[in-house]
Amino acid sequence: FEKAASGECVIREVAARHRSPPAMLRELAGALYERFLEPDDVALVRMVIARSIDDVDFARRFFETTAMHTRKALEDVFVEWADAGVAMAGPPEVLSEIFLGLIISDLQNDAISHGVMARPGAERIAERTEFFLRGAGLDDARENPGRAETPA
């Protein structure tokens, strides 16, 4: 489980580099995508799915030590932004679930289909991220009207 839990570390590392929510989330989308769609991680998800059929306790332990930690780390970032007065169009727990779903869905599709569906490229990931930023009320236009956003 140790390697699979590293989504939390990626989130904390990327968040530490940015003051700007849009910049942080743009970088994070790419970083998590690279992290979660590594062939070893996809293979691990396949094994977890197979073992979870017969071992509910294993499934719960795996979920509690991986996905829940990753989601909580991202939720904590959204909470920090909310506490700092950043306006968002949704509660931190919902925004973290939706954002992670943009990436986890590809991991699950790849694990189940064995790569039948083509993985989205960087352009598609950027489009998804921009759509999320607009929906969450975190796009550059709202943060800095008339100005391009720059990372911290």
pLDDT of 141: 55
pLDDT, tens digit (0-9, with 9 covering 90-100), for 4-53: 546 899 999 999 999 899 999 999 999 999 888 888 888 888 888 899 99
pLDDT, tens digit (0-9, with 9 covering 90-100), for 95-129: 999 999 998 888 877 778 877 777 778 899 999 99
Tokens of residue 98, six digits = 């939706």
pLDDT, tens digit (0-9, with 9 covering 90-100), for 65-97: 888 889 999 999 999 999 999 999 999 999 999
What is the model's pTM? 0.82
pLDDT, tens digit (0-9, with 9 covering 90-100), for 127-147: 999 999 999 999 875 544 443
